[in-house]
Amino acid sequence: MREVIDECIQKAKDSGKFSAVIIGTTARMDSCSFVIAPNKESDKCVGSSFIIRNYNDFKAICQYADGKADYFFIDAEAKIDATFDLVAEAGSCIKRSKMKTFKGNDITALACDLLVSEMIGDLRGKKVSIIGAGNIGSKMALKSVERGANVFITRRDDRGELIAEAMNTIKNRYSIGRVYSEKNASKCADKADVLIGFTQGYPVIDEQITASLSNHALIIDGGVGTITEGAIACAKQLGLTILRLDIRIAFPYVMDSILSTEHFIEKIAGTITADDGTYVAGGYIGGIGDIVVDQIHAPTKIIGIADGKGGIQHYHNKKFNRNK
């Protein structure tokens, strides 16, 4: 663990980036209690990554890296024992490094959505089947139906209809796709253009399901371990594309977005009152007549004059010069 952290910190220094320690959890009961995940690197940051299930491992990471790494990124979603609040524990352990939070399941859903979009392209009219419509699967269902796909979901309990109804209610009203609930996994996947497994690591996609897919189907193991060995062999024999979801597709974007938000709040957004008036920037709602600028610290451009309601009364879009 220490070597991985030190390696990332050194790489960050050598590349002029921030260093981070990323700590997440998993709902999978069959997973190891401590996993050193692949390092994550973005345009702004280099991070060592760990998946933990108990407090002792968490505390050991925090005690070693606090003050050495620039940031800790902590998974804010509760996936294990409710008494183990990762964010609360981090707040008590991390004193010298900066702490930020992320939502791990959202990153997984985003990575899956980006992967499907890249591999398939236009989803309008396509059939997307999701086996395991829990938290991540449902998020992916909404993303897919809003891209115009007809989405079929299945899950172990009887809440599939409720989830499908909710998705159809909150999706964009102009979306041509719909979400359907199907209790039988084989029927759910029949003739699917995209099949995604999001169960918690147990194999549900078998040879029969694989053989029923469309001729050029994409299969994604989103839950890691959701496809049987026989199904993998069948997919390869049929010439189907089969992939294990890798969240590194989306994590760099999220890391940079977190750091960009910090910069935005600290350097761009705000309000200042000077002799020549009140200046606002970055979403701060000014009073009538306040001057809206591009950034509150060292502004370079006047956007316009605030209308007192969050909008612009008069647009100027001219170079900032406080002396005029």
Nearest CA to 40 among 130, 131, 102? 102
pLDDT at 10 over 60: yes
Please answer whether residues 147 and 127 qualify as being in contact, where contact means their C-beta atoms are separated by less than 8 angstroms.
no
Residues 95, 66 contacting (CB under 8 angstroms) = yes
Give domain limits for the chain. Answer: 2-102, 106-249, 269-319
**Quick check: 82 pLDDT over 70?**
no
**Which of 113, 104, 100, 115 is closest to 45 using CA atoms?**
100
The H or E element containing residue 316 is strand 312-319
Q: Residue 47: how many CA atoms within 13 Å on its side-chain side? A: 28
- Cβ–Cβ under 8 Å, residues 315 and 291: no
Q: Of 92, 96, 49, give the one whose Cα is nearest residue 68.
A: 96
- CATH domain 106-249 topology: Rossmann fold (3.40.50)
Residue 222 is predicted with a pLDDT of 96
> pLDDT for 252-310, tens place per residue?
999 999 999 999 999 999 999 988 899 999 999 999 999 999 999 999 999 999 999 99
- Give yes or no for residue 14 having a pLDDT over 70: yes
What are the pLDDT digits (tens) for 150-160?
999 999 999 99
* pLDDT surpasses 60 at 324: no
Q: Residue 85 pLDDT more than 90?
A: no
Identify the residue whose tokens are 């930020």.
Answer: 100
At residue 84, the pLDDT reads: 73
Residue 113, pLDDT score: 98
Cβ within 8 Å of residue 119, ≥6 positions away: 218, 241, 243
Model confidence pLDDT, tens digit, residues 94-139:
999 999 999 999 999 999 999 999 999 999 999 999 999 999 999 9
Query: At residue 321, does pLDDT exceed 90?
Result: no
Once rounded to an integer, what is the mean pLDDT over residues 207-226? 96
- Model pTM score: 0.89
Phi-psi region of 307 (alpha: psi -120 to 50; beta: other; left: phi over 0): alpha
Nearest CA among 132, 113, 131 for reference residue 123: 113
